[in-house]
Structure 1
Amino acid sequence: MSIGNMVLIPGYMTDDQLWDEVKEPLEQQGAILTLATLDKGETMAEMAERIIESCPPTFVLLGFSMGGYVARQILQRIPERVSALILVATSSRADSDKQQRIKAAAADAVTATSYNGLSNQSLGYSLHIDRSQDPELLHRLKSMGQRLGYGVFVRQSKLDRSSDTHNLAQISCPTLIIAAQDDRMRSFEEAIEMQERIAGSVLRVIPDCGHMIPIEQPTAMCQEIIDWLTEP
Structure 2
Amino acid sequence: MTIADRRYIPLQWAETLEQMDGLTVHAVAGDKVHLVAFSMGGYIACRFALANPDQVASLTLIGFCSAGLNQQELQQRQLIIRALDKGQFRPMSAQRLAMMVNPHSPNHQFAQQVVREMEQDLGGSVLKYHLIAASSRPDLTEDLAQAAFPVHIIASECDEVAALGAMQTMHQAIKHSSMQVFSGAGHMLPLEQPKALSLHLQSRI
TM-score (norm 1): 0.77
- Asked if residue 91 in structure 1 is aligned to residue 58 in structure 2, the reply is no
Equivalent AA in structure 2 for residue 142 of structure 1: R
- Deviations, residues 156-207 of structure 1 (Å, cap 9, x unaligned): 2223222222312222112211111221222222222222222321111112
Query: For residues 97-136 of structure 1, what are the structure 2 equivalents within 5 Å?
Result: 97-110=71-84, 114-131=88-105, 134-136=108-110
Judging changes above 3 Å, is the alpha-carbon distance between structure 1 residues 171 and 38 closer, same or farther for their aligned structure 2 residues? same
The answer to which of 78-87 and 50-59 deviates more is 50-59
> How far is 1:146 from its partner?
2.1
Instruction: Specify the alignment match of 1:9 in structure 2.
Output: none
Partner Cα separation in structure 1 for residue 62 and residue 198 of structure 2: 11
Q: Is the 8 A contact 2:100 2:188 kept in 1?
A: yes
Q: Is the 8 A contact 2:35 2:60 kept in 1?
A: yes
Partner Cα separation in structure 2 for residue 96 and residue 181 of structure 1: 17
Which of 154, 157, 165 is 1:178 aligned to? 154
Judging changes above 3 Å, is the alpha-carbon distance between structure 1 residues 150 and 112 closer, same or farther for their aligned structure 2 residues? farther
Query: For residues 54-73 of structure 1, what are the structure 2 equivalents within 5 Å?
Result: 54-56=27-29, 57-73=31-47
Q: Is the 8 A contact 1:117 1:149 kept in 2?
A: no
> How far is 1:222 from its partner?
1.4
- Asked if residue 53 in structure 1 is aligned to residue 29 in structure 2, the reply is no
Instruction: Specify the alignment match of 2:114 in structure 1.
Output: 140
Judging changes above 3 Å, is the alpha-carbon distance between structure 1 residues 134 and 81 closer, same or farther for their aligned structure 2 residues? closer
More helix by share: 2
> How far is 1:120 from its partner?
3.6
Q: Is the 8 A contact 1:120 1:138 kept in 2?
A: no
Q: Is the 8 A contact 1:68 1:87 kept in 2?
A: yes
Instruction: Specify the alignment match of 2:170 in structure 1.
Output: 194
Equivalent AA in structure 1 for residue 44 of structure 2: V
- Asked if residue 34 in structure 1 is aligned to residue 7 in structure 2, the reply is yes
> Share of identical aligned residues, percent?
23
> How far is 1:98 from its partner?
4.3
Structure 1 residue matching 2:59: 3-state secondary structure = strand
> How far is 1:134 from its partner?
4.7
Judging changes above 3 Å, is the alpha-carbon distance between structure 1 residues 157 and 138 closer, same or farther for their aligned structure 2 residues? same
Instruction: Specify the alignment match of 1:162 in structure 2.
Output: 138
Instruction: Specify the alignment match of 2:54 in structure 1.
Output: 80
What are structure 1's unaligned runs of at least 5 residues?
3-28
Equivalences, count: 201
TM-score (norm 2): 0.86
> How far is 1:135 from its partner?
4.4
> How far is 1:213 from its partner?
0.8
Instruction: Specify the alignment match of 2:186 in structure 1.
Output: 210
The answer to which of 60-69 and 183-192 deviates more is 183-192
Partner Cα separation in structure 1 for residue 3 and residue 131 of structure 2: 35
